[in-house]
Structure 1
Amino acid sequence: MFKAGWSKREILVKAQGYAMMGYGMWHNRAWGQQTPLFARAIWLADEQGNEIAFCCLDLGYITYAMRSTIIRQLRAKLGEHFNPERLVLTCTHTHSGPGGCTHDALYNVVTPGFVPDNLAQIVLATVDALLVARAHLEPVELSLAHAAFAETTAVAWNRSLEAYNRNPEVTKLNHQQCHLALNREMPVLAIRHQGQVAAFVSLFGVHATAVGNNQTKYCADNKGYAAVAAEAALTQQGITAPVAIFAQATAGDVSPHYHGPNDIVRRKQWQGEKEYTYAEQNGRLQAEHALKIIQQASLPITGALDAILTYVDLSNQHAEPRFANGEQQAFTSQPCHGVAFFTGTRVDGPGMPMAIGKVAKQLARVVKTTRLRRLHKLTLAEQQYYQRLYAAQGVKDIMLEAGRKQVLGQAIDKLMVPAIADPLVAELKRQAAKGAMKESAMVPTVLPIQIVRLGNIAIVCCPGEFTTIAGQRVVQTVGQILATANIEQVLICTYCNDYMGYVTTYEEYQQQAYEGGHTIYGQWTLAAFQTCFAKLAEQFALPAHQRQYDQHTQPLPVPAHELALRSNLTPPRR
């Protein structure tokens, strides 16, 4: 027997001209609000008093600044009884939500800077939703059901087909079949109170980018529209204050926009205000599918609740050969963003012009060649750094070395690109010149990995964006280990607990499409995640008192004086 509570609270951020988080475009600023943004929470408890807290926010990302502050406030309210390893924070990944909510420097540049009030409103809504859910626990039944979207349902397309087709385990598809190059199955975890579904969690991967980067209003995008539609349907059935969560699974290479012949032309048909209509339409497809699934035969969830979470340094991981094509020296490195990251995705979110991208690629290759040619003139430490960096990053044309804060080999504060070339460049140089990011991390490197157990099922909770096959491999890795612990099914939830970019397979990485350019720790990133998740799963399969895993590592705090220098900056005028 389980008990559950559910609740939602609006995130009351103000639209005052700060850039939204997702596209990284200077002009993509919030001057209004198209839809409310919510924190939706579910709190579960079993007969032994074990608890799991799950909250999904209408945001583009979860950050350590959010998670650490939320944990601190929950501990203040609940005392030591609260176990943060049993808290899952995730998001819909709408690209039309507030930015400026991380202490890491890079993802705040476009905002510009850190916006404490945005973070405060997110924390307030999340903590309130969670505490209200916990305060209203009711006897419930849990079940899991899943079904695939029909092939004719126009809900999602793979946006990086050439990379997807590189994977040895997939059936090669053509551009007329992009809608099949993804996991079209939607698992739904249903919570029934007095025989009726009162809350549920859907896990289906598709980017919340139906609303493009030229819009200027906060919007929950397709996942938010799906939640509102499903909650309205449940309300009509007599359910009081239902909660429908549409979280993400393997969305890394999955778009809500048609990809295939004439895709750019079709995308232009959904511009301006029509994008909100399209987002609602896409969300309604997800809502209708979820509502059908909860009416069909399902797997009863029985057993105890449990969770395990640890932090790992992804910039310094050795991947086991079994996950790295037999490679003995498969290491990750300090984070680097490729030119492909800056050129963006051609339908969902184009970045810098391709002509400039071609020049940047050539410059990146010159920098690499020059460095490796002059290795003998460097100190041993420098030699080892470059050798490891380029071995890990492989074919990536490195534009930004986020670890060392260099662009094409030049320190950011000495970057020769003129500020007039781009407002983002101007802001980056301005913050660097002020000393606002000298010691601060540009992106996270110490990241949380988590596995949650709901009786006979498990959920792998991953930070960042996993592509379809990358996520499939992680699920297979964990599933093989937890099968010995009576786990019948393993699911994946992404964008959990922090954000650092993408995770592609080794094969996809070689394509260096946008997703590979944003796989910042290099070509063995997925293999490193599999290695870490395998070790964590092995401990999770043991009784709690026998587990031995790192419970102490945490990200380093940001230097307060540097954060202050890039906080509460004035956004551009409209």
Structure 2
Amino acid sequence: MGDAGWGKYEIAIRPSGYAMHGYGQITHRATSEGGPLFARSLFFRDKDGKTLIFCCLDLGYVTHAMRAGAVEQLASRMGSGFNAESFVLTCTHTHSGPGGCAHEVLYNLVTPGFQPEHLQAVVSAIVESVVQAWMTAEETELWLGSGCFDEHVPVAWNRSLRAWNRNPDVSPYREGENHKALDRRMQVLSLRRDGQVKALLSLFGVHATCLGSSLNQHNGDNKGYAAAETEARLGDGAVAIFAQAKAGDVSPHYHGPGQADRRKAIKGEAEYAYAESNGRKQSELALVIAASPAQDRINGPLDGVLTYVDFSNVHADPGFANGEPEARTSDPCHGVSFAAGTPVDGPGVAPALLPLLRLASRARRALKQGALSQRDAEERAYFRRLYRSQGPKDIFMELGRRQNGKRPRIPGFIDPLVAELNRQEKAGAIKESEMVPSVLPLQIVRLGSLALVCCPGEFTTTSGRRLIETVNTCLKGSGISQTLICTYCNEYMGYVTTYEEYQEQAYEGGHTLYGQWSLAAFQTRFAQLAAELPKAAADRNYDRATRPVPPPDHELSRRSGLPPWQ
């Protein structure tokens, strides 16, 4: 392959009472020191001088603000050694890490607000870990292996089995067989010098939610423990990245009969022990795979393509949308099932409120499509398209920018975050700002015969598999023999379910923002991008200019640097 290097740098954000990103609970505040959080990076350079960088953060999300800040500084520090299109920025999705690092409104609410010092610390850690990897690059062998957790190893469970069983292309399972309804394989890219593994990248999808929302320390959760264990085993200077694959519907907690009681029995210090145990299982399998002789040597060119797409209105190819000729995405919307949370990993609003929220949602839908809206043809057309796209979702919150200042005011007593949103809206902090990202990064990178599909947000097991199959088909005959997926890359925007899973409207469907054709839209646009990768760079034709619109400075300042919750 050529040269490779690796680096690690601590994210220097000290606990000071700010709520953590992940569970959306204002009581989930970091008040004491836990384990350190890191940015871990791998740097690759082929014989023609092309480079590729993979950086993984011990955080719950990646934001465009993080990526844009890192890209600017890395281009300055590294010059021709940096290529933004082959720079992958991802995270472990720990729910016990700091937030406040987005320029959009919603995912900052829990902190509360945008915290510039947090963003600066994250960007600094990214840059220093990458530069460290770049500066230590020398001849290194790359090997790719795969292994599978035995079904009796208690490491992961599907948390939305009824949604899984709606898919026509899966094996259906009964309650109590949730551990089978996921991809139990792990892929490991190992970096060797003098025959010894010195660094590795593991891809296995399972939520980093062993630790619940009652704890008060920053912590890397299971993926963080897996990395620390592996680095200790490999020796001084080693870097081990445990990134996410198809994790959207995969929990590290038992799901099945008696699941609530099983979860209640793991509290406090037992949660840390449980996270460490889960991470150790991931570490052990990764090390077995990395040491196995049954691996493929990775040789060949490095490359990458990156584009940004506005997902508020993507026309999906009917071939990916059950033949539907007018399958489109829409402005983002959260569903009532999003507000409900997940029963084991992260419960949401009080269950008694959910029927009222559903009634209010359906009443608004009827009003917007009924006789009272006839006087405004433009508004009527907008909502008809929105509801066609959102399908059976009972909409809890409309998040499109055109609705800023127009969306129905949800009573603040429903949830403290709703009250904070109302306060920021009243203060004029969000009139022209994005609530959530809609312009999303799609990226495919190549390491010799391996292609890595880099997706924003959280893809369920089956949606991720279908996307891999789509891209793999497009890359046939291009010298690429295997396609893998990495999620939570370059931006965070909720979930992507299959069309069938979406109809269930479990938590994942309620958090699939752009509607029931979201996966079809991703398949459509990733297929177009994949068609460009085999071409010579000068012959490629895709959008390289589009980027998210930054918020107005005066609005961002009004929701920046807010004090911790009292």
| TM-score normalised by structure 2 residue count | 0.98
Q: Does 1:396 align with 2:393?
A: yes
Contact kept, 8 Å, 1:138 with 1:193, in 2: the verdict is no
User: Which residue in 2 is equivalent to 1:217?
Assistant: 217
Post-superposition CA distance 1:416-468 (Å, at most 9, x none): 61x45532222111111110111100000000000010000100000000000
Contact kept, 8 Å, 1:221 with 1:280, in 2: the verdict is yes
CA, structure 1 residues 535+62, in 2 after alignment: closer, same or farther (shift >3 Å)?
same
User: Which residue in 1 is equivalent to 2:359?
Assistant: 362
CA distance in 1: counterparts of 2:414 and 2:364, whole angstroms: 21
User: Which residue in 2 is equivalent to 1:196?
Assistant: 196
Contact kept, 8 Å, 1:484 with 1:541, in 2: the verdict is no
1:501 equivalent among 484, 494, 505:
494
Contact kept, 8 Å, 1:400 with 1:406, in 2: the verdict is no
Q: Does 1:208 align with 2:208?
A: yes
User: Which residue in 2 is equivalent to 1:428?
Assistant: 421
Post-superposition CA distance 1:387-441 (Å, at most 9, x none): 110000000000100115869xx946x7261x45532222111111110111100
User: Which residue in 2 is equivalent to 1:288?
Assistant: 284
2:409 equivalent among 401, 404, 415:
415
1:242 equivalent among 211, 218, 238:
238
Contact kept, 8 Å, 2:204 with 2:246, in 1: the verdict is yes
Equivalent position SS for 1:199: strand
User: Which residue in 1 is equivalent to 2:543?
Assistant: 550
User: Which residue in 1 is equivalent to 2:458?
Assistant: 465
- TM superposition shift of 1:480: 0.7
CA distance in 1: counterparts of 2:154 and 2:358, whole angstroms: 35
Equivalent position SS for 1:484: coil
* Aligned CA-pair RMSD: 1.3
1:484 equivalent among 471, 477, 482:
477
CA distance in 2: counterparts of 1:39 and 1:268, whole angstroms: 32
CA distance in 1: counterparts of 2:425 and 2:124, whole angstroms: 31
Contact kept, 8 Å, 1:226 with 1:287, in 2: the verdict is yes
CA distance in 2: counterparts of 1:164 and 1:94, whole angstroms: 24
CA distance in 1: counterparts of 2:402 and 2:209, whole angstroms: 29
1:305 equivalent among 272, 278, 302:
302
User: Which residues of structure 1 form unaligned runs of 5+?
Assistant: none
CA, structure 1 residues 198+404, in 2 after alignment: closer, same or farther (shift >3 Å)?
same
CA distance in 2: counterparts of 1:416 and 1:179, whole angstroms: 38
User: Which residue in 2 is equivalent to 1:55?
Assistant: 55
CA distance in 2: counterparts of 1:486 and 1:400, whole angstroms: 45
Q: Does 1:269 align with 2:265?
A: yes
Give the residue type in structure 2 aligned to 1:263. Q
Equivalent position SS for 1:175: coil
User: Which residue in 1 is equivalent to 2:251?
Assistant: 255
Contact kept, 8 Å, 2:341 with 2:349, in 1: the verdict is yes
Equivalent position SS for 1:294: helix
Post-superposition CA distance 1:272-315 (Å, at most 9, x none): 12111100000000000100011111011111000000000111
Percent identical residues: 55
Equivalent position SS for 1:67: helix
CA, structure 1 residues 405+425, in 2 after alignment: closer, same or farther (shift >3 Å)?
farther
Q: Does 1:535 align with 2:528?
A: yes
Give the residue type in structure 2 aligned to 1:444. P
CA distance in 2: counterparts of 1:218 and 1:411, whole angstroms: 37
Post-superposition CA distance 1:199-230 (Å, at most 9, x none): 00000000000000111110100000000001
CA distance in 2: counterparts of 1:503 and 1:459, whole angstroms: 18
CA, structure 1 residues 438+214, in 2 after alignment: closer, same or farther (shift >3 Å)?
same
1:518 equivalent among 490, 511, 516:
511
CA distance in 2: counterparts of 1:449 and 1:127, whole angstroms: 22
CA distance in 1: counterparts of 2:2 and 2:52, whole angstroms: 11
Equivalent position SS for 2:476: helix
**Structure 1 segments of 4+ aligned residues over 3 angstroms from their partners:** 404-407, 419-422
CA distance in 2: counterparts of 1:69 and 1:162, whole angstroms: 41
User: Which residue in 1 is equivalent to 2:467?
Assistant: 474
CA distance in 2: counterparts of 1:155 and 1:70, whole angstroms: 34
Equivalent position SS for 1:485: coil
Contact kept, 8 Å, 2:353 with 2:414, in 1: the verdict is no
- TM superposition shift of 1:374: 2.7
Residue pairs, 1:332-343, within 5 angstroms:
332-343=329-340
CA distance in 1: counterparts of 2:61 and 2:42, whole angstroms: 19
User: Which residue in 2 is equivalent to 1:372?
Assistant: 369
| TM-score normalised by structure 1 residue count | 0.97
CA distance in 1: counterparts of 2:371 and 2:416, whole angstroms: 34
CA distance in 1: counterparts of 2:229 and 2:81, whole angstroms: 36
- TM superposition shift of 1:33: 2.5
Equivalent position SS for 2:176: helix
User: Which residue in 2 is equivalent to 1:79?
Assistant: 79
CA distance in 1: counterparts of 2:384 and 2:7, whole angstroms: 51
User: Which residues of structure 2 form unaligned runs of 5+?
Assistant: none
Equivalent position SS for 1:570: coil
